[in-house]
């Protein structure tokens, strides 16, 4: 499972993945005329760079799955996507892509030649790799989004959506997308309140095995999952350290023994077909004596819900919160 995860699979290696000194915002001048009229559009991206286009982009390449999802959700089917097969596995259930999309290499090492060959108007990415940005910009303008935040991932996601929408002329679609998302939050919160289960904490994690060692990666309160939980009034049980930017912790089976609450709901993800929390720990005495294992309060997130995604992936996760807490 580890290889299919976000590229920062080991939390200890995550420090300073993205600079946090700049915020991506749309510029007022660009917002008033360009997107609605088809004229020039301009935004200031996450790195503080001004990205200007003569007209809204119609052909977009996206190098991270959240940006792929956002573009498609706005009605701009990307012409190129990094790790297309992985997207279809991890994200595609929420926002499917059509057969016209071209794979442009891995998210870690996208193919500059493949990108250049698509004749795109815009490349959207999260990386702050200056050399990669410069190489791509020899052929096409680059927008760098924030991708994650140490503080509020819902506000951050809104900023990322707005930047992409401005440069693609889809600001009305962005407003509708966000209205749907806010309605989903309200509906989910109301369902949990009606069920009277809002005081029950949850722990969301994924994990992997290396030999006999099992690593558990909890998603803390500042992760996107944690931000969604907070928005609907739920308590995140993980209070340990996280990497900061992504809100991800690290522990092992022994560390899970601290969770003695007999009502705690453990939610996990195994979208690549592996199942570390069933097959991988079968027969392990520590695991089998955990309170949520013995009590059966374990829930597997449906495949294809990306926990680092955009509004539509987040809506799918909220649906699962409602299923776990209110059904």
Per-residue pLDDT at 281? 87
Say if CB 227 and CB 151 are below 8 A apart: no
DSSP assignment of 175-203 equals HHHHHHHHHHHHHHHHHHHHHT-TTS-EE
Residue with tokens 């819900």: 305
> What does the alpha-carbon distance between residue 290 and residue 253 come to, in Å, rounded to a whole number?
9
Q: Compute mean pLDDT per 10 residues along the chain, 327 residues long, and list them.
A: 43 33 37 60 98 98 98 99 95 95 98 98 95 97 97 96 99 98 99 98 93 91 98 98 94 95 94 73 90 95 92 98 97
Per-residue pLDDT at 8? 42
Domains of the chain: 2-170 (3.40.50.1980), 181-326 (3.40.50.1980)
Q: Is the overall model pTM greater than 0.85, yes or no?
A: yes
Size of the chain, expressed as the number of residues it contains: 327
Say if CB 167 and CB 51 are below 8 A apart: yes
Quick one: DSSP state of residue 95? S
> What does the alpha-carbon distance between residue 323 and residue 327 come to, in Å, rounded to a whole number?
5
224-249 pLDDT, tens digit each = 999 999 999 999 999 999 998 999 99
> What does the alpha-carbon distance between residue 208 and residue 104 come to, in Å, rounded to a whole number?
27
Per-residue pLDDT at 209? 85
Per-residue pLDDT at 241? 95
Per-residue pLDDT at 38? 82
3-state secondary structure of 156: helix
3-state secondary structure of 59: coil
Residues whose CB falls within 8 Å of the CB of residue 11, separated by 6 or more in sequence, listed in order: 217, 242, 243, 246, 248, 249, 250
């Amino acid at each position: 499972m580890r290889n299919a995860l976000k590229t920062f699979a080991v939390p200890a290696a995550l420090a300073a993945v993205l600079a946090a000194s700049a915020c991506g915002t749309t510029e007022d001048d660009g917002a008033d005329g360009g997107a609605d009229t088809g004229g020039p559009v301009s935004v200031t991206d996450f790195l503080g760079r001004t990205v200007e286009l003569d007209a809204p982009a119609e052909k977009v390449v996206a190098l991270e799955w959240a940006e792929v999802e956002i573009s498609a959700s706005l009605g701009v089917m990307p012409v190129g996507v990094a790790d297309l097969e992985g997207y279809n596995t991890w994200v595609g259930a929420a926002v499917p892509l059509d057969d016209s999309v071209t794979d442009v290499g891995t998210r870690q090492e996208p193919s500059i030649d493949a990108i250049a060959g698509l004749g795109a108007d815009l490349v959207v990415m999260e990386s702050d790799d200056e050399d990669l940005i410069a190489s791509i910009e020899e052929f096409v303008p680059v927008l760098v989004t924030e991708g994650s935040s140490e503080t509020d991932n819902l506000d951050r996601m809104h900023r990322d959506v707005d930047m992409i929408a401005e440069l693609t002329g889809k600001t009305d679609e962005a407003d509708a997308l966000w209205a749907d998302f806010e309605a989903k939050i309200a509906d989910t919160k109301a369902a949990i309140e009606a069920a009277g289960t809002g005081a029950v904490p949850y722990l969301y994690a994924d994990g992997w095995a290396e030999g006999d060692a099992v690593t558990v990666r909890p998603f803390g309160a500042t992760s996107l999952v944690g931000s969604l939980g907070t928005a609907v009034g739920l308590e995140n049980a993980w209070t340990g350290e996280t990497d900061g930017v992504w809100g991800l912790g690290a522990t092992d089976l022994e560390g899970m023994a601290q969770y003695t609450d007999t009502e705690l709901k453990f939610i996990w993800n195994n979208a690549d077909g592996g199942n570390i929390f069933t097959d991988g720990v079968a027969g392990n005495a520590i695991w089998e004596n955990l309170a949520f294992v013995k009590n059966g309060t374990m829930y597997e997130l449906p495949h294809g819900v990306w926990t680092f995604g955009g509004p539509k992936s987040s809506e799918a996760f909220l649906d699962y919160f409602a299923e776990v807490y209110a059904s």
